[in-house]
Structures are given as structure tokens and as C-alpha cells.
Amino acid sequence: MKKWMVACSIGMLFSAQHAFAADSAGCEKGGFTALGKSGTVTTSVAPGSVGSLFHVQGKYVQFDVDATSFAVLNFTMTGAANANDLTGGRATPVFESKTPDHRGLVLNSAVTLELGDAGITVSRSGPGVSMKVTSKDCASGGIFQMEVARSDETKTVFTHKLAESAFYFDNRNFRNREGDTVAFKDTTLVVSSRVNFGNDYSRKFVGRDSAQFADRITSPTCTNNIVTRTGTISKVLHCGAVSQWSVSSGGRLGQVMGEDSTEVAPPPTQCTHKCQAQNQVKGQSTVLGFPFPVAEADRLKARLPQ
């Protein structure tokens, strides 16, 4: 069995309930319906029963999945009432799309579906490529993750495009503390710059792309001159609505929402089995938060690559 198939099979073994650690209050009565299934179930859906696009509906999160590529479309937080709500009680579009470029390869196998404990995992393969999407139906925390594996073990470019109302920004709370030493568990960490995304109408709404075995592709046509705490200029090559990532075979991109996206913590653990979107260290890390509203000078531009 080829290396990529082994890695993919190992990754598929972990169930939806183990995909992320999440605050149970944020997931209260959460759970997904997809491909006509709900509750707690592990099943395989035949290719002929999978349309070109299928919808994943939760209490707090909803999105669509392109069946042949596993691109995720119209990722939205529903605004359902919850103690950890970030939306102010209104439906809030987050991502217009999260799209992997498979360079001509297509997913066409049966779809493996796991539901349970407010979580979902869907996976599918095709000649030379395999994808998995995992999500938690929660109001905040590590709520989403996409993974790819290729038989040629080359990297895959993922393009994230935010919803029209959302934008990436250089977090001023981090810039103004850049270089400081802060507490983390039983040690310390040095604050570095941080790119988050937010909007103009939800005071608590904030998130972050979380990468494992993936590197962000800089955008030279989106050059932003960000003023540091010392008055010098830092050039941030990042667009306001788009981020692109080069993801290794077996790598993944996660989505972290709320307080977890503004804490000072180490990079996500470099693992290949039972991985999480971020390290969960509640109460043991320094949370810097984010300014609201975000100053115009800290919003990343242009919105799209030129």
C-alpha cells in the first residue's frame, strides 16, 4: 500500500467526536444533518446517491460541499442563541469558498460519513487524491478543518475567500505587544504579529486560519505597510479577502473562531493522527483579543489579488 494511502487511512480512523477539543457550552445541542443522515451514524454513501453539491446543516454552522473536489462553499455561522455566540444573534457569512486545486484530479468514490457528538467527518477519494472535511457544530473554538492527500505527494494550493462582509486584518493588539514575553502554561512565549479576520457589525466575531503542514503563499500585489510599536514599517503581503496556502500531502487547514484565535500559543501540533485545529490550553495562555472596530490602517488591502 502506498505511503499516501496509509496516511489517509490512518487519518480517516478518527471519528468526528475526536476531531477537535471544544467548549461543551459552545456546542450545546449541536449536531449536523448531511446526505439525509443525522444523529450518531457512520456510513458510506454510494456515488450515485451523491449529487454535485451537498449541504451540511448544523445548529450553529452550515456550509455546502462540492462533491467532486470537496471545496467548501457558503460557510456561515447561523447566529443561534448560545453563551459563546460571536455573531450577535444574526446569521453571519464567514467564507464564500475554501477551494483546493487538485490540478485535474477528481473525487469519485463513495462518501464516508461520520456524525456524532456535535461533529461531522466526510471523506472521499479519487484516482491519486483524497480529501476529508471535519467540522464541529459549535458557536466558537476550533470548528472546521480540511485535509488533503495525494499519491504523488506533491503540495496542493488551497484558496480561502472570505464572505463579502468579512475582512482580514493585522491585529493591532498583537502588533502593540510584538516582542513581549507572556505566560503560557508553565513557560513563556514571545508575542509575534497576527492576522485575523472579522467584520464591522459583530463585536465578538473574530477568527483565524490555522495551518498544519501548510505554508501561506504571500501576495505581492497586496502589499500593506503596517506600523509597528516602534514606528517602523512592516510589509504584510496578504490580501483583504483572500489567503492562499501550499498544503503538503497529509496536511490540513483549520478554522478557529473567537477567543482561541487571539490567544498567544505555539503553532498547531505537527501531527498526522487525531489532530486538532489548535492547541487547547484554556486558562493557561494569554489572550490578547482584538480591537473593534478595526482601524482602516490595519485592514489588509487590496481585497483580491491584482
Question: DSSP assignment of 154-219, as one string?
Answer: --EEEEEEE-TTEEEEE-HHHHTTTT-EEEETTEEEE----EEEEESS-TT-EEEEEEEEEEEEP-
pLDDT band (50, 70, 90) for residue 266: confident
Confidence at 147, pLDDT banded by 50, 70, 90:
very high
Average pLDDT rounded to a whole number, residues 6-27: 48
CA distance 15 to 118: 11
pLDDT value for 278: 42
Q: Which amino acid is it at 88?
A: G
Closest CA relative to residue 263, chosen from 289, 229, 231: 289
**pLDDT at res. 22:** 54
Tell whether the model's pLDDT for residue 16 goes beyond 70.
no
* pLDDT reading at 10 higher than 50: no
User: Hey, CA dihedral for 296, 85, 241, 74, is it positive or negative?
Assistant: negative
Query: Taking the alpha carbons of 297, 299, 302, 305 in that order, is the dihedral positive or negative?
Result: positive
Judging by DSSP bridges, how do beta strands 206-217 and 181-184 pair with one another?
A: unpaired
215-221 mean pLDDT: 97
CA pair distance 265, 277, nearest whole angstrom: 13
Provide the residue ranges of all domains of the chain, joining segments of one domain with +. 3-164+196-220+241-283
Count CA within 13 A, CB hemisphere, residue 217.
Answer: 15
One-letter identity of residue 15: S
User: For residue 271, what pLDDT is reported?
Assistant: 53
Nearest to 101 by CA among 162, 147, 159: 159
Query: Which tens digit of pLDDT belongs to each residue from 35-47?
Result: 999 999 999 999 9
pLDDT value at residue 221: 97
Rounded to whole angstroms, the Cα distance separating 175 from 27 reads: 32
Taking only the tens place, the pLDDT of each residue in 154-196 is 999 999 999 999 999 999 999 999 999 999 988 999 999 999 9
The per-residue pLDDT for 185 is 86
| Residue 8 pLDDT exceeds 60 | no
Please check whether residue 19 is in contact with residue 115, taking contact to mean a CB–CB distance below 8 angstroms: no
Q: Select from 185, 175, 82 the least CA-distant residue to 137.
A: 82
